[in-house]
């Protein structure tokens, strides 16, 4: 039987970013250095396939530090942790390695600097996301106020409207965030912002690639996890940029083939925590059903790399 033709657009960049790559390397190197089990506080990155792979090698994932025995090493996830977490690990004399992405740490430092200058901080982010919890937890309670939408800005009760700064989560929608920043600047004209924006290069680049790809394709799939903020944003960006059907899939078995019946073009991208092997699996699933012609939609080249912490570069 002849297969129907399909143009498969692949967004570039897509998939792993430098912070995710580094965090996974940290767990692997910790397992090499100290042997199993190595404990990891929270999913090291938001991807079940990655987490299951590390678990099979001897990583144990927990949500809180008190679940970790004092004589085993613990790693903090790429999303960052409140200051109280390393402080507790230190008090318990634990071996710990912080896999917080350097671009998240940069936001932590920025928030602290504003606080030292006497400013109250408004964080634009998603309530309950570990990165938001980690960034808010760099400062005492009440020093960081969280907003998600322009409506939240209207309802904000601040200590002193003349002494404010804002920071953002690194994985937000660039366009939604611009609206919230505009609302903040309209209500608090003196508010201080980041020198260079907090949304990271990987989030920005993946959203730009989706914007370029979405108008070309009848449907779009984002390979990523439901708890991955940057992956979910890619689905929203794709739908807003004109793609009639944009869906998140964790892997090929999630694809709803009935919804894709009769299409002649598909766009594929992946969130920053989705490994290449899952993207290949999804592309191969299309090759099984269609006569596929692949076209890359390239909007940026990435060559960012972050070093792993020194403790892992030294012999045990």
- Our CB check for ligand SF4 shows the closer of 154 and 178 to be 178
- The alpha carbon dihedral of 172, 178, 184, 190 has a sign of positive
Q: How far is the CB of 205 from ligand SF4 (least distance, A)?
A: 10
- Our CB check for ligand SF4 shows the closer of 201 and 286 to be 201
How many angstroms separate the CA atoms of 73 and 175, rounded? Answer: 40
Distance between start and end Cα atoms, the chain: 59
Residues that bind ligand SF4 (CB under 6 A): 17-20, 78, 101, 103-104, 170-171, 200, 202-203, 230, 272
DSSP states of 64-102: SGGGS-TTS-EEE-TT---THHHHHHHHTT--EEE---H
Extract the tokens encoding 162: 């003349």
Q: How far is the CB of 18 from ligand SF4 (least distance, A)?
A: 5
- Our CB check for ligand SF4 shows the closer of 47 and 265 to be 47
- Our CB check for ligand SF4 shows the closer of 120 and 231 to be 231
Task: Assign 137 to helix, strand or coil.
Answer: coil
Q: Which residues contact 241 (CB under 8 A, 6 or more apart)?
A: 210, 211, 214, 215
Q: How far is the CB of 229 from ligand SF4 (least distance, A)?
A: 8
| Cα distances (Å, whole numbers) of residue 207 to 101, 110, 167, 234, 276 | 19, 24, 20, 6, 18
Strand (E) or helix (H) holding 146: strand 144-147
| Phi, psi at 291, each rounded to 5° | -90, 95
Extract the tokens encoding 132: 């938001």
Answer whether the bond into residue 13 is a cis peptide, omega within 30°. Answer: yes
Q: How far is the CB of 80 from ligand SF4 (least distance, A)?
A: 9
- Our CB check for ligand SF4 shows the closer of 15 and 238 to be 15
How many angstroms separate the CA atoms of 82 and 94, rounded? Answer: 17
How many angstroms separate the CA atoms of 104 and 106, rounded? Answer: 5
- Our CB check for ligand SF4 shows the closer of 17 and 180 to be 17
Which residues does the annotation mark as catalytic?
131
Q: How far is the CB of 107 from ligand SF4 (least distance, A)?
A: 9
| Cα distances (Å, whole numbers) of residue 76 to 70, 106, 125, 137 | 15, 16, 20, 14
Q: How far is the CB of 230 from ligand SF4 (least distance, A)?
A: 5
């Amino acid at each position: 039987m002849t297969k129907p033709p399909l143009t498969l657009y692949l967004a570039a960049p897509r998939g792993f970013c430098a912070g995710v790559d580094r965090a996974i390397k940290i767990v692997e190197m910790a397992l090499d250095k100290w042997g199993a089990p190595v404990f990891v506080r929270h999913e090291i990155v938001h991807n079940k396939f990655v987490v299951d792979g590390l678990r099979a090698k001897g990583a144990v994932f927990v949500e809180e530090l008190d679940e970790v025995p004092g004589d085993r090493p613990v790693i903090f996830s790429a999303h960052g942790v409140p200051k109280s977490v390393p402080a507790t690990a230190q008090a318990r004399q634990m071996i710990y390695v912080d896999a917080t992405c350097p671009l998240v740490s940069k936001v932590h430092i920025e928030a602290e600097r504003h606080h030292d200058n006497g400013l109250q901080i408004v964080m634009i982010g998603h309530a309950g996301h570990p990165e938001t919890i980690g960034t808010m937890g760099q400062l005492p309670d009440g020093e960081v106020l969280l907003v998600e939408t322009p409506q939240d800005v209207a309802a904000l009760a601040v200590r002193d409207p003349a002494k404010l700064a804002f920071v953002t989560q690194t994985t937000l929608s660039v366009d939604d965030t611009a609206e919230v920043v505009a609302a903040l600047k309209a209500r608090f004209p003196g508010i201080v912002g980041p020198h260079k924006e907090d949304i990271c290069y990987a989030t920005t680049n993946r959203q730009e690639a989706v914007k370029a790809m979405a108008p070309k394709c009848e449907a779009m799939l984002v390979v990523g996890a439901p708890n991955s903020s940057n992956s979910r944003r890619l689905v929203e960006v794709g739908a807003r940029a004109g793609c009639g059907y944009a869906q998140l899939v964790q892997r090929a078995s999630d694809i709803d083939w009935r919804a894709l019946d009769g299409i002649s073009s598909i766009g594929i991208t992946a969130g920053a925590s989705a490994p290449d092997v899952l993207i290949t699996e999804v592309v191969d699933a299309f090759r099984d059903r269609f006569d596929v012609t692949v076209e890359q939609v390239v909007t940026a080249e990435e060559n960012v790399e972050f070093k792993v912490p020194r403790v892992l570069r030294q012999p045990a």
